[in-house]
C-alpha cells in the first residue's frame, strides 16, 4: 500500500472523528430546543414553531451530516480494498465531510444563543482545524477536480450487487438511446410523454418495480426492493425527470397505499393492472390552500346511493390527464376538528387524455374537469388542477372498503415515504446529467487561450459537484436498505431535503460553467436548472420536511 493511500485513509478517519464531534453538537442543540419547547411531558408544536429558524437549520445540518456519515462509511469499504483506483472516491468523501462539518459549524456560530451555546462551545480542536483547513484548501480541491477530469467523470465503484448493476445498466442505455433524444422537444414544446417512451418501459416492467410478483410485479413477494426502484429512477431522471424519471412515482405511491390498506379484492384487481402500466395513474392529494398540510384537505365526499359524490378542487395532480386511475384523498367526515382522521382514499377511474384540458361526465352523474398548469420546468407529464362537481365514485372504490373510511391519511403516508426517497434519486439523476455536460463543456470551451477546465475555479466547482453527487447517491442507497427492513422514514425525508437543495446548487453551477450558452434553451443544462427547482417543492416542501417531519422528530427524540 502506498504512503499516499495510507494518508487518505488517515484523513478519512479524521473526517469520521470530526463528523462525530459535529453530530454531538447537533444533538446538544436539539436537547436545548427540546427543553425550551416542552409542555408538560410532551413537545409543544406551538412552542416549537417559535423556534423555526433553529429547527430548520438543525434539520438541514442533520440531513447533510447524515449524508456525510453514509458516504464516509462507503469510503471505508473502498479503503479496506486498498485499491488505488478507489482513491478519488475517498478524496471526495473527505472533501464532502469537510464541507458538511464547516456548513454545520457556520450555522451554529451565526447565533449560538439560539441553540443554547456560546462560541466557546462550538470551538474545534487543533486536529479538526487541521483536517478542515487541509481539505478545504484551494489547492487540494482543485487537485481533486483535476483527478475527475483525468478520469472523465468516473467517480468510482458504487458497490451495487450484480442484479442491481444489470438493472442500472439496462435503464441507462434506454435513457441514453430513447429518453435523451426526445427530452428537449418534450420540454420546449410542452408535450405529453410519448408512447415511444411509455411502451418500452411497460415491456421492461418498470411500472411493476414496487409491486410483488404475486400481483404481477417484479418485486419478491417476501421482501421489498427499494434500491431497484432507486437505480432505475436515477438513470431515467438522468435523461429527463419530466419525460421518464418521474413515471414510476405515482405507481409507487398507489401501490404502497394499496398494499398498506387495500382489501385483497382491491389488490387483486388493481395491482396487476398497475404493474403493466394499464391504466397509468396519478395522485390527487394537494389542494389550492393545502399542500404539505395534508390533514387540512377539504375536498368533500358525501354518501350517495351505492357510493360517494366528490365536490371540490385539487391541484398539482401530475399526469392527471393521461392517467386512467386517480388516487383521490377526500374528507368523508365533515368535522374539520378530526383533522387527518376524517380522510379517506378513493380510486377514481377515468378516460385517459393527452390534452392540456379534459372533462369527464360520470354515468351516475357529476363532472370532473382538469386544466394543465403551465410550469417553468418538469414538463412532459403535465400537472393539473382538478375540479369535482358531484362526481360519483362507487362504494367499492374506497381504499380498504368500509374499513378504510377515515384511514386515508395513513394509507397516503405509506405511499409518500417511497415518493420522498425516489425524489432524492431523481435529484441524483438530474445532477449527474448536469455534471456530465459540464465536464464535457469545460474541456472544449476555450477562454483566454485555454480550456476552462484548466482553471482552478472550474476544477473546484467540478470537485464539489462530484462530492455532492456521491453524497446524495449514497444516502439514497443506504436509506433504501433501511426502508426494506421497515425503517428509514426519517432518513428518507432527510435524503429528499438534502438532495433537493444540492440539485438546485449543482445545476446552477452547471449553467454557470456553460456561461451564456447555459442560459439558452438549446442547451440541456437550462432544462436541468429549471427541472431541479421543483425537487425542493414537491413530495413535501423542504420547509415542511425540515420543521414538521425531521425537526420535530429530532427534538422529540433528543436526550
> According to the model, what pLDDT value does residue 234 have?
97
Q: Per-residue pLDDT averaged across 247-276, rounded? A: 94
Q: Per-residue pLDDT averaged across 484-512, rounded? A: 94
Question: Is residue 380 pLDDT above 80, yes or no?
Answer: yes
Return the half-sphere exposure (C-beta side, CA atoms, 13 A cut-off) of residue 546: 24
Report residue 292's pLDDT band, with 50, 70 and 90 as the boundaries.
low
CATH architecture for the domain at 3-136: Up-down Bundle (1.20)
> According to the model, what pLDDT value does residue 68 have?
98
Report residue 331's pLDDT band, with 50, 70 and 90 as the boundaries.
very high
> According to the model, what pLDDT value does residue 558 have?
94
In order of 285, 298, 314, 408, 548, the CA distances from 330 in angstroms are 8, 7, 10, 8, 22
In order of 411, 423, 428, the CA distances from 224 in angstroms are 17, 18, 21
The DSSP symbol for 326 reads: E
Question: Is residue 1 pLDDT above 60, yes or no?
Answer: no
Question: In angstroms, rounded to a whole number, what is the distance separating the alpha carbons of residues 61 and 63?
Answer: 5
Print burial letters for 154-165: b (CB count within 10 Å at least 16), e (below 16): ebbeeeeeeebe
0.85 surpassed by pTM: yes
Question: Is residue 274 pLDDT above 90, yes or no?
Answer: yes
Print burial letters for 440-459: b (CB count within 10 Å at least 16), e (below 16): ebbeebeeeeeebbebeebb
> According to the model, what pLDDT value does residue 2 have?
67
522 is catalytic: no
pLDDT tens profile 163-214: 999 999 999 999 999 999 999 999 999 999 999 999 999 999 999 998 999 9
Report residue 540's pLDDT band, with 50, 70 and 90 as the boundaries.
confident
Domains of the chain: which residue ranges? 3-136, 281-409
pLDDT tens profile 23-59: 999 999 999 999 999 999 999 999 999 999 999 999 9
> According to the model, what pLDDT value does residue 291 have?
60
CB 404 within 8 A of CB 261: yes
Q: Other C-beta atoms within 10 Å of 487: how many?
A: 12
Active-site position among 57, 252, 504, 539: 539
The domain defined by 281-409 folds into: Butyryl-CoA Dehydrogenase, subunit A; domain 2 (2.40.110)
Considering only residues 92 and 81, tell me which one the structure prediction assigns the higher pLDDT: 92
> According to the model, what pLDDT value does residue 90 have?
95
Amino acid at each position: 500500500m502506498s504512503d499516499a493511500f495510507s494518508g487518505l485513509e488517515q484523513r478519512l478517519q479524521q473526517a469520521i472523528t470530526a463528523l462525530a464531534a459535529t453530530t454531538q453538537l447537533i444533538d446538544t442543540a436539539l436537547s436545548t430546543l427540546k427543553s425550551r419547547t416542552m409542555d408538560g411531558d410532551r413537545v409543544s408544536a406551538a412552542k416549537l414553531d417559535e423556534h423555526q429558524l433553529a429547527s430548520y437549520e438543525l434539520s438541514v445540518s442533520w440531513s447533510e451530516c447524515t449524508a456525510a456519515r453514509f458516504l464516509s462509511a462507503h469510503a471505508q469499504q473502498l479503503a479496506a480494498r486498498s485499491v488505488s483506483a478507489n482513491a478519488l472516491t475517498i478524496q471526495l468523501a473527505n472533501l464532502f465531510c469537510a464541507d458538511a462539518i464547516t456548513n454545520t459549524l457556520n450555522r451554529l456560530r451565526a447565533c449560538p444563543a439560539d441553540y443554547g451555546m456560546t462560541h466557546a462551545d462550538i470551538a474545534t480542536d487543533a486536529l479538526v482545524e487541521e483536517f478542515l483547513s487541509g481539505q478545504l484548501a484551494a489547492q487540494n480541491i482543485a487537485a481533486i477536480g483535476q483527478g475527475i477530469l483525468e478520469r472523465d467523470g468516473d467517480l468510482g465503484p458504487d458497490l451495487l450487487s450484480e442484479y442491481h448493476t444489470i438493472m442500472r445498466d439496462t435503464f441507462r442505455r434506454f435513457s441514453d438511446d430513447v429518453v435523451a433524444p426526445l427530452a428537449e422537444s418534450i420540454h420546449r414544446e410542452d408535450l405529453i410523454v410519448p408512447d415511444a417512451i411509455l411502451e418500452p418501459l411497460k415491456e421492461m416492467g418498470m411500472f411493476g418495480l414496487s409491486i410483488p410478483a404475486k400481483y404481477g410485479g417484479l418485486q419478491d413477494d417476501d421482501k421489498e426492493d427499494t434500491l431497484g426502484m432507486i437505480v432505475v429512477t436515477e438513470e431515467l431522471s438522468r435523461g429527463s425527470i419530466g419525460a421518464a424519471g418521474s413515471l414510476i412515482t405515482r405507481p409507487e405511491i398507489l401501490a404502497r397505499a394499496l398494499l398498506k390498506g387495500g382489501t385483497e379484492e382491491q389488490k387483486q384487481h388493481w395491482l396487476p393492472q398497475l404493474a403493466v402500466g394499464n391504466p397509468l395513474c396519478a395522485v390527487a392529494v394537494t389542494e389550492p390552500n393545502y399542500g404539505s398540510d395534508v390533514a387540512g384537505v377539504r375536498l368533500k365526499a358525501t354518501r350517495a346511493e351505492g357510493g360517494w359524490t366528490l365536490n371540490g378542487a385539487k391541484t398539482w395532480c401530475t399526469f392527471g390527464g393521461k392517467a386512467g386511475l386517480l388516487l383521490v384523498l377526500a374528507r368523508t367526515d365533515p368535522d374539520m376538528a378530526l383533522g387527518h382522521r376524517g380522510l379517506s382514499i378513493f380510486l377514481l377511474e377515468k378516460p385517459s387524455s393527452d390534452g392540456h384540458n379534459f372533462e369527464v361526465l360520470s354515468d351516475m352523474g357529476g363532472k370532473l374537469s382538469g386544466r394543465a398548469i403551465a410550469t417553468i420546468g418538469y414538463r412532459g407529464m403535465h400537472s393539473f388542477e382538478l375540479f369535482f362537481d358531484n362526481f360519483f365514485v362507487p362504494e367499492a372504490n374506497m381504499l380498504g372498503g368500509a374499513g378504510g373510511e377515515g384511514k386515508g391519511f395513513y394509507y397516503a403516508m405509506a405511499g409518500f415515504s417511497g415518493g420522498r426517497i425516489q425524489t432524492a434519486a431523481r435529484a441524483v439523476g438530474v445532477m449527474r446529467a448536469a455534471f456530465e455536460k459540464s465536464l464535457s463543456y469545460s474541456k472544449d470551451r476555450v477562454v483566454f487561450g485555454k480550456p476552462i477546465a484548466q482553471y482552478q475555479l472550474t476544477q473546484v466547482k467540478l470537485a464539489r459537484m462530484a462530492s455532492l453527487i456521491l453524497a446524495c447517491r449514497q444516502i439514497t442507497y443506504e436509506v433504501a436498505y433501511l426502508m426494506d427492513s421497515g425503517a428509514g422514514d426519517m432518513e428518507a425525508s432527510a435524503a429528499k431535503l438534502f438532495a433537493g437543495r444540492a440539485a438546485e446548487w449543482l445545476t446552477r453551477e452547471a449553467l454557470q460553467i456553460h456561461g451564456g450558452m447555459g442560459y439558452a434553451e438549446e442547451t440541456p443544462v437550462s432544462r436541468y436548472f429549471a427541472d431541479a427547482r421543483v425537487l425542493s417543492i414537491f413530495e413535501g416542501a423542504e420547509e415542511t420536511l425540515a420543521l414538521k417531519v425531521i425537526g420535530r422528530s429530532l427534538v422529540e427524540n433528543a436526550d
